[in-house]
Amino acid sequence: MTPALRVLIIGYEAVPFFKCGGLGDVLGSLPKALREINVDARVIIPYYLDIEKKYKFPKIGEYSIVFGGDIERVGVYESGHVYFLSNRKYLASINTRGRNKKIDQFAFFDLAVVEFSSFILEKKKWYPTLIHCNDWHTGFIPLLIEQRIPTLLTIHNLNYQGWGSREVLDLLHVKDEKVKELRRGVPVSEINVLGEGILHATAVSTVSPSYAHEITSNYDGDPIHLYLKRREKAGKDHGVKGIINGIDYATWNSKYDVASWEKGKKKNKEMLLKSMGLSDRPTFCFIGRMARQKGLDILVRAIDKILSKDKNAANFILLGSGMPAIEKMVKKTANTYKDNVRVELSYNEEFAHKLYAGADFIVIPSRYEPCGLIQMIAMRYATLPIASKTGGLKDTISHGGNGFLFEKESVSGLVNGIKKALAIYQSHSHYKRMVKSALQTDFSWNKSALLYKKLYIDILNS
Ligand code: NHF
């Protein structure tokens, strides 16, 4: 018999209410896809003041939690299938500075989520049969819930683990013995929140099969490896399952199809180049956070190698913001190649849409990429990806089919990839075949939502 699938999906961001990165997109779109296949999926995120100011959702009630020596009130607000938890001291803003403060903030959130299940039962006679946690911000939930409700923890990026002082356990009234695993591989005074989540969750998943393989085999130097290995050894479940993300076709509602894309691309490219003051050349874009992970250092070196030889080879438009040193580096490249390179140092969703629609290629030189959404969005807009052979990029791009792959962290690999793309761009028929294949690749949530549903059922039956 299929068990009742009432799933609470938890994270620190969800589109359209609040977005910092790809997790926000997933929490905005996966629940919708699950609801379409009869999973009663509901979402909880914090009610940051920025959300409150913009939306002013109705309050459906409140409850108390004991956090350290204090009794704190948690307000519950609702919009459709999304619940927002409010507390002025801990959940007002995501910009809490200081690693212990941030850990305390999400310890508070996690405890509030655990207590929410009693609140919602009383209020709406609804009770989750499974809690789906996402990333380190939700890593205390499996520990606090103690298997009363099965939990799935999805890792969207293993490099953010939530480190801090073990004193947070006192705030949660959790005894040290409960987290004794933390003594393996990390100093006793420290807690690794994601690590604890990995150990205590009923099941662990991540956002692509290749990343699942990478994190269970290549993290030797990182203490997180001990947690993953321990889980594997304990034979706790089916290992770390990799399910590729989908994208929301309602948001990324490209009008391009196999028959019409050429006309649309031409028009959008003309508008894009005009607004940027660039001449008509093959145009490559980059969209993303300016963080080390995203490999902008590799990209600027490749741009230099290409443009120093031939000023007319291509245009490059880079969009994103992040680390000041990386921003400085890309600005320098834009200054050196004033006729070809443009940089927009703020994340702007509207401009991102224009770039996807108007550029010919998107460059994704990530050092690692758990899933990556931009390659899928780009393909919807007839923009071919040139990406590192890693994680979800490897799982969604077929080299020479719907895009190009190169060995990660290799400048010469990227230069060759760009040269190959330029050559194919000149030979019209090959290029058109590739764009057609990109447009025809299905990146909707249909397949992956079914895989999540199956995983939920397996967890509930195990
Ligand atoms: O797509 C959503 C996103 C991923 O690769 C991305 C990442 C963060 O690094 O799952 O999470």
The 3-class secondary structure across 373-397, one letter per residue, is CHHHHHHHCCCEEEEECCHHHHHHC
Q: Nearest C-alpha to atom 3 of ligand 1 is from which residue?
A: 22
Residue 342 · residue 276 · CB < 8 Å = yes
Q: In this structure, what token pair is assigned to residue 132?
A: 């789906």
Residue 444 · residue 246 · CB < 8 Å = yes
Q: How far is the CA of 371 from the centre of ligand 1 (A)?
A: 5
Residue 354 · residue 319 · CB < 8 Å = no
Q: How far is the CA of 41 from the centre of ligand 1 (A)?
A: 20
| Dihedral over Cα of 73, 63, 12, 141: its sign | positive
Q: Nearest C-alpha to atom 6 of ligand 1 is from which residue?
A: 372
Q: pTM above 0.85?
A: yes
- 35: buried, middle or exposed (CB in 10 Å: 19+, 13-18, 0-12)? middle
Atom of ligand 1 nearest to the CA of 245: 10
Q: How far is the CA of 265 from the centre of ligand 1 (A)?
A: 27
Helix boundaries (H) for 173-248? 193-200, 209-217, 224-233
Residue 48 · residue 93 · CB < 8 Å = yes
Atom of ligand 1 nearest to the CA of 369: 5
For β-strands 384-388 and 203-206, DSSP reports them as unpaired
Q: Which helix (H) or strand (E) holds 343?
A: strand 341-344
Q: What domains lie within the chain, and their CATH numbers?
A: 6-246+446-461 (3.40.50.2000), 261-440 (3.40.50.2000)
pLDDT in tens, the chain (462 residues): 677 899 999 999 999 999 988 999 999 999 999 999 999 999 999 999 999 999 999 999 999 999 999 999 999 999 999 999 999 999 999 977 877 899 999 999 999 999 999 999 999 999 999 999 999 999 999 999 998 999 999 999 999 999 889 899 999 999 887 886 655 566 667 889 999 999 899 999 999 999 999 998 877 778 788 788 877 776 665 679 999 999 999 888 888 999 999 999 999 999 999 999 999 999 999 999 999 999 999 999 999 999 999 999 999 999 999 999 999 999 999 999 999 999 999 878 899 999 999 999 999 999 999 999 999 999 999 999 999 999 999 999 999 999 999 999 999 999 999 999 999 999 889 999 999 999 999 999 999 999 999 999 999 998
Q: How far is the CA of 401 from the centre of ligand 1 (A)?
A: 23
Q: How far is the CA of 376 from the centre of ligand 1 (A)?
A: 12
Map residue 405 onto helix, strand or coil.
strand
Distance in angstroms (rounded) separating the CA atoms of residues 277 and 272: 9
Distance in angstroms (rounded) separating the CA atoms of residues 77 and 320: 32
The 10 Å CB-count burial string (b at 16+, else e) for 159-196 is bebbbbebebbebbebeeeebebbeebbeeeebbbbbb
**Of 137, 172, 128, the residue nearest 157 (C-alpha):** 137
Give pLDDT, residue 186.
Answer: 61
- 129: buried, middle or exposed (CB in 10 Å: 19+, 13-18, 0-12)? middle
Q: Is the CB of 157 under 6 A from ligand 1?
A: yes
For a mutational test of ligand 1's pocket, the pick from 13, 23, 376, 408, i.e. the residue with the most ligand atoms closer than 8 A to its C-beta, is 23
Map residue 25 onto helix, strand or coil.
helix
For a mutational test of ligand 1's pocket, the pick from 133, 158, 245, i.e. the residue with the most ligand atoms closer than 8 A to its C-beta, is 245
Q: Which residues contact 78 (CB under 8 A, 6 or more apart)?
A: 57, 58, 60, 84
pLDDT tens-digit series, residues 81-124? 999 999 999 999 997 787 789 999 999 999 999 999 999 999 99
Q: Is the CB of 29 under 6 A from ligand 1?
A: no
Q: How far is the CA of 159 from the centre of ligand 1 (A)?
A: 11
